[in-house]
Amino acid sequence: MPSIEESLKRLHDAVVAFDEDGTVLAAQDYLDEGHEALEGIMRGLAAGMNTVGQLFKSQEYYVPEVLLCAEAMQAGLRVLTPHLRAGQSESRGKIVLGTIQGDVHDIGKNLVKLMLEIAGFTVYDLGVNVAHQTFVDEAARTGADVVGISAMMTTTMMGMKKVIQILREARPEVRILIGGAPVTAEIVKMFKADGYAQSAADVVDAVERVLARETA
């Protein structure tokens, strides 16, 4: 029988190779070998997706590859998740996510959602072209810890500033992250957001940073 490290590596590598069938087989074998589902998810599938994030950042992978890796990972999750023990799927926090009004770009936002879900956060995805007030309403309804706003165009990103203003008034306790191609550190400062992630690969770090600041 292969060692657990070998089995975890097999899960990791199948995700990185965007091999959906291979990931499912690796996940089934992993369970048959008697290993813990949670460890397989975190140190196998999620670790694989983190490697994918790094490959994306270094431009060895592009969005199409990442999408296929995500599909492989999700196929693996469908095998492993039913075998989690009670309490193991507890959420690390609630995040409301959406693309700003007038902007229909959702690839970056969807990658961010994926990385956050793998890391154990509960994500409420509002989709694209989201009205400003909807961010505030959804943050209230879900009791969100973090609101993430995406804009892909210089022409739409001013809307993020408006959302931040009304969100600060209505829910001062909520941390706000912004993201998207036109967002820079200067924009974060100018819009008075709490932070941003340069790419989907960095978003979990960014969320952890703003949440730590909140409780510190």
**Identity of the residue, 67 or 84, whose beta carbon is nearer to other proteins in the bound complex:** 67
**Identity of the residue, 112 or 187, whose beta carbon is nearer to other proteins in the bound complex:** 187
- The correct pick among 105, 113, 132, 175 for binding other proteins (CB under 8 A) is 105
Residues 58-87 that bind other proteins (CB under 8 A): 59, 61-65, 67-68
Sign of the dihedral through C-alpha 10, 11, 14, 16: negative
CB 25 within 8 A of CB 19: no
54 binds other proteins (CB under 8 A): no
**Identity of the residue, 40 or 159, whose beta carbon is nearer to other proteins in the bound complex:** 159
Residues 116-175 that bind other proteins (CB under 8 A): 129, 153-159
Residue of 118, 121, 122, 125 lying closest to 15 (CA atoms): 118
17 binds other proteins (CB under 8 A): no
55 binds other proteins (CB under 8 A): no
Query: In the complex, which residues of this chain contact other proteins (CB under 8 A)?
Result: 59, 61-65, 67-68, 101-107, 110, 129, 153-159, 181-182, 184, 186-187, 190
